[in-house]
């Protein structure tokens, strides 16, 4: 039982890492389903558009979804039109940018995973590049194979191109290899940027490591407590108002913190 609690504690501590992992895992699963069930390269001049749409639009959708589902976005935006000073005060611009960057980093996990996995899988890139009308690129990939140039966009479809099976496979393997190399480069650069970024932010933090941990824990506790107290307060207020309605009595008004106080703690 104690060990179980320890594991739960560990899970709670590594929440961010774990949630990133889960998001990435779901994205990998989704990509696999899409590329095997929905995706079928048209093998025509549409190739480039079709491949790019499957490579990039889902990641755009995931990015927007990431912004939409992050409560920090709304904590930042709620009421900011009524109260522009909240954002544009000199000492707040820095904080706003910091929160925006945080939100963006969280929102970027899923789309980058999608692109990386799609590149490692290779089929979207294959379809897109066979519709890419760049003579130099086609010459380099075709490598002198006859009929490759005019049938280039028919390569991803089995049994359509007039090339020999082995020539076709050569070209496809070359394109897929490019895709996978690009995928690994993307993953490596994401990791490098993530490491550098975390280093710089942590390095510039005005507090030391344990104090940082303490404040994280404090914020977590404050959030939880605030929520439970707010719920209780709301319950009491509702109970009172409804009793007034049914019993037609006048009750002493309960005090609720005013708007200014709310803004200050938000």
Residue 77 found at the interface with its own copies (CB under 8 A) = yes
110 burial via Cβ count (<10 Å: 0-12, 13-18, 19+) = buried
Output 90 or 203, the one with its CB closest to its own copies: 203
- DSSP characters for 177-212? HHHHHHHHHHHHHHHHHHHHHHHHHHHT-SS-HHHH
Minimum CB separation of residue 123 from its own copies in Å reads 12
Q: Between helices 90-121 and 15-33, what is the axis angle to 10°?
A: 40
Does position 99 bind its own copies by CB under 8 A? no
Provide the minimum distance between the beta carbon of 42 and its own copies in the complex, in angstroms, as a whole number: 4
Q: Quick one: which of 10, 217, 251, 253 contacts its own copies (CB under 8 A)? A: 217
**C-alpha torsion angle, residues 41, 43, 44, 47 (rounded to 10):** 40
Range 122-161, binding its own copies (CB under 8 A) = 143, 157, 159-160
- Assess 93 for contact with its own copies (CB under 8 A): no
Q: Does 253 help bind its own copies (rule: CB under 8 A)?
A: no
Output 101 or 217, the one with its CB closest to its own copies.
217
Interface pattern 230-249 for its own copies (x via CB under 8 A): xx-xxx-xxx-xxx-xx-x-
Q: Is 207 in the site for its own copies (CB under 8 A)?
A: yes
State which of positions 46-65 bind its own copies (CB under 8 A): 46, 49-50, 53-54, 57-58, 60-61, 64-65
Q: How far is CA 213 from the centre of its chain?
A: 25
Binding mask 167-196 for its own copies (x = CB under 8 A): ---x--xx-xxx-xx--xx-xx--xx-xx-
Lookup: tokens for 84: 């522009």
**Least separation, in Å, of the C-beta of 90 and its own copies?**
20
Can you state the angle between helices 15-33 and 47-69, rounded to 10 degrees? 150
40 binds its own copies (CB under 8 A): yes
- Residue 236 contacts by C-beta under 8 Å, 6 or more apart in sequence? 254
As to burial, measured by CB atoms within 10 angstroms (0-12 exposed, 13-18 middle, 19+ buried), residue 104 is middle
DSSP 252: P
* Residue 85 binds to its own copies (criterion: CB under 8 A): no
Q: Which two tokens stand for residue 219?
A: 């914020």
91, 134, 210, 249: which one binds its own copies (CB under 8 A): 210
Please give the residues from 6 up to 25 whose contact with its own copies meets the rule CB under 8 A. 8, 17
The CA distance from 60 to 51, in Å, is 14
32 binds its own copies (CB under 8 A): no
């Amino acid at each position: 039982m104690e060990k179980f609690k320890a594991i739960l504690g560990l899970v709670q501590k590594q929440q961010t890492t774990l949630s990133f992992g889960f998001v990435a895992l779901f994205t990998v699963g989704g990509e696999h389903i899409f590329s095997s069930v929905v995706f079928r390269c048209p093998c025509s001049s549409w190739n480039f558009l079709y491949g790019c749409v499957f490579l990039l639009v889902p990641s755009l959708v995931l990015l927007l979804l990431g912004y939409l589902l992050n409560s920090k976005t709304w904590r930042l935006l709620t009421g900011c039109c009524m109260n522009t000073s909240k954002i544009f005060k000199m000492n707040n611009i820095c904080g706003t940018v910091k929160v925006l960057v945080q939100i963006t980093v969280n929102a970027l996990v899923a789309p980058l995973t999608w692109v990386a996995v799609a590149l490692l899988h290779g089929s979207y890139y294959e379809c897109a590049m066979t519709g890419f009308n760049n003579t130099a690129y086609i010459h380099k990939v075709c490598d002198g194979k006859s009929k490759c140039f005019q049938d280039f966009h028919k390569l991803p479809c089995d049994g359509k191109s007039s090339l020999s099976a082995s020539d076709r496979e050569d070209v496809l393997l070359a394109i897929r290899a490019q895709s996978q190399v690009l995928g690994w480069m993307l993953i490596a650069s994401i990791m490098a940027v993530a490491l550098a970024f975390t280093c710089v932010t942590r390095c510039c933090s005005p507090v030391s490591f344990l104090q940082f941990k303490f404040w994280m824990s404090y914020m977590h506790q404050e959030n939880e407590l605030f929520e439970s107290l707010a719920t209780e307060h709301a319950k009491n207020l509702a109970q009172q108002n409804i009793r007034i309605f049914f019993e037609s009595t006048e009750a002493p008004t309960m005090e609720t913190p005013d708007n200014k106080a709310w803004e200050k703690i938000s």
